[in-house]
Structure 1
Amino acid sequence: MTVADDEGLKIEIDNGVATLTLHMPSMRNAFGADVAGDFTQFFRDANVRQDVRSILIRSTGDRDFCLGGGQSKIPTPMPRNPIDYRFVSTPHIEMFKAMWELERPVVSAVQGTVAGVGWLLALLADMVVAAKGSRWTHVFVKRGMIPHAGDSFYLPRIIPFHRLNEIALLGDMVTADTLSEWGLINRLVDKELVQDTALDLARRLADQPTRGIGLAKRHYRRSLETDWNTMLREEMAGQALYTTTADRNEILAAGREGRKPELTGD
């Protein structure tokens, strides 16, 4: 199967919302190293872009959200020695690391089938909107693989442990309805409402004090990786930094003056 020239990651920015559309229909929205690299670069740049205050991740069509890792436009050489397979997932590892560290809020709009690394693309978002009945399969155990691309680090921090074991060790399909019952979905809606619901959330997030919610995101994630003393010191430093932002001072001024704050994301 060949990747078409016009396929890849499509980026649109409007009123502070960056919409990232995974457009790989020939691969059922599975994506390779080149698209992973495009995601990584955007995530790294977004933290300092004034025109990006929230991010919406979606995919083309309603059949598949993402079927995992796939072929690149320029195929990469296959490892000749088993030890070199350690590096096959590097582009996706770097992508999800950048997504995990991203301080801009992210919403995912999920419809259709989710498999493999598609789980991370969907669930590393801060808020998840999913279509009722959409199908999720962890798939690695049934493809002769073990979880990779950071899956074994991130998913235990998102999914309850015994639920994760059921998903990963059996490889059975679950629906978004079940994941919603487990607390993994923010909005479970009809398929026709997924895009509008996700966009509404992204717009609401873009209207918030961008640097403040970015620091909140950072602190919540860091708390999953570090000790109590380090976390409290980071929180104290973040609180001090936040007092220097224009939005924070505008919120205080608006409160004193009895008006709605005009936030700029700075």
Structure 2
Amino acid sequence: MTSATEEGLRVELDQGVAILTLHTPSNRNAFGGDVAEEFTRFFREANTRQDVRSILIRSTGDKDFCLGGAPSRTPTPMPRNTIDYRFVSTPHIEMFKAMWELERPVVSAVQGTVAGVGWLLALLADLVVAAKGSRWTHVFVKRGMIPHAGDSFYLPRIIPFHRLNEIALLGDTVTADTLDSWGLINRLCDKEAVQDTAMDLARRMADQPTRAVGLAKRHYRRSLEVDWNTMLREEMAGQAIYTTTADRNEILAAGREGRKPVLTGD
């Protein structure tokens, strides 16, 4: 991960909360494939890290949360032909796939402008905290592009269909206040309160039985992709597996003994 002086993804750990800070101020917190790969590595590792029980995603500064994609810090050769151009978005696609499949709870802290793939970075979180008046623009159509990096898979599963058409086909800017009225924001705050509010939610998430939370969010997301029979069988398997965990047995013991459970995330 990036150092304190270079641009990229900064990672800190605070009592079970992994704080991921997107730090690319030279691009107004837009990010290229190299930074997407940093996110992907962390998301894939987090599923089996005992020291990561929840994740907070934020950006440097309060003017821009994320303005979408940008060139990598180490430029890669442009594709030679149209067929090869299909793979340009692969690093971002892999990143958001890993984020979608992540079995750790995620909170996003959104301040400032959101554009392009910034929508996915914010809205693929399990809980979204946003500053009042922060501006969101889908941007692709106005730039002569079509949605990519997984946008066309994820956003129809998150945003009501006709609202999605409004933002994607017209390209109009909306505010977090509007998204809150559509049910997309969990906490709408004054700008000064966003970070503390998001961190409070991340700490509360970290205090939950981590594997139960992970399986629950996995099941909810899988239900958007598979048929009824497959989903119920996965739910039954998850329920059976979870009974073997330390936190499940600790919760049962604490109930019998009339005390508060001490959860370790295992």
Give the TM-score normalised by structure 1. Answer: 0.98
- In the other structure, the counterpart of 1:263 is 263
Q: SS where residue 122 of structure 2 aligns?
A: helix
Structure 1, 80-89 or 148-157: larger mean CA deviation: 80-89
CA distance in 2, matches of 1:157, 1:227: 15
- In the other structure, the counterpart of 2:168 is 168
C-alpha deviation, 1:35, in angstroms: 0.3
Structure 1, 171-180 or 4-13: larger mean CA deviation: 4-13
C-alpha deviation, 1:76, in angstroms: 1.2
- In the other structure, the counterpart of 2:103 is 103
C-alpha deviation, 1:5, in angstroms: 6.8
Matched, 1:39 2:39: yes
Structure 1, 118-127 or 248-257: larger mean CA deviation: 248-257
Matched, 1:13 2:13: yes
Structure 1, 255-264 or 37-46: larger mean CA deviation: 255-264
Q: SS where residue 251 of structure 1 aligns?
A: helix
Write the mapping of 1:19-58 to structure 2, written as runs, cut at 5 A: 19-58=19-58
CA RMSD of aligned residues (A): 0.9
- In the other structure, the counterpart of 2:183 is 183
C-alpha deviation, 1:84, in angstroms: 1.6
CA distance in 2, matches of 1:16, 1:76: 36
Structure 1, 81-90 or 165-174: larger mean CA deviation: 81-90
- In the other structure, the counterpart of 1:132 is 132
Letter in 1 for 2:68: G
CA distance in 2, matches of 1:188, 1:260: 32
- In the other structure, the counterpart of 1:219 is 219
Q: SS where residue 139 of structure 1 aligns?
A: coil
Letter in 1 for 2:91: P
Letter in 2 for 1:70: A
- In the other structure, the counterpart of 2:232 is 232
Q: SS where residue 87 of structure 1 aligns?
A: coil
CA distance in 1, matches of 2:195, 2:5: 26
C-alpha deviation, 1:78, in angstroms: 1.1
**Percent identity between the aligned chains?**
87
Give the TM-score normalised by structure 2. Answer: 0.98
Unpaired runs of 5+ residues, structure 2, are none
- In the other structure, the counterpart of 2:241 is 241
Write the mapping of 1:123-162 to structure 2, written as runs, cut at 5 A: 123-162=123-162
Q: SS where residue 31 of structure 2 aligns?
A: coil
Letter in 1 for 2:13: I
- Contact 1:5 1:73 survives alignment (8 Å): no
CA distance in 2, matches of 1:85, 1:162: 30
C-alpha deviation, 1:257, in angstroms: 1.0
Matched, 1:78 2:78: yes
- Contact 1:56 1:107 survives alignment (8 Å): yes
CA distance in 2, matches of 1:76, 1:144: 22
C-alpha deviation, 1:80, in angstroms: 2.1
- Contact 1:107 1:201 survives alignment (8 Å): yes
CA shift digits 1:175-226 (9 cap, x unpaired): 0000000000000000000000000000000000000000001100000000
Q: SS where residue 86 of structure 2 aligns?
A: helix
Letter in 1 for 2:244: T
- Contact 1:29 1:65 survives alignment (8 Å): yes
CA shift digits 1:114-158 (9 cap, x unpaired): 000000000000000000000000000000100000000000000
Letter in 2 for 1:54: S
- Contact 1:96 1:120 survives alignment (8 Å): yes
CA distance in 1, matches of 2:152, 2:178: 21
| Alignment coverage as a number of residue pairs | 263
CA distance in 2, matches of 1:110, 1:168: 20
Unpaired runs of 5+ residues, structure 1, are none
CA distance in 1, matches of 2:121, 2:70: 14
CA distance in 1, matches of 2:264, 2:54: 13
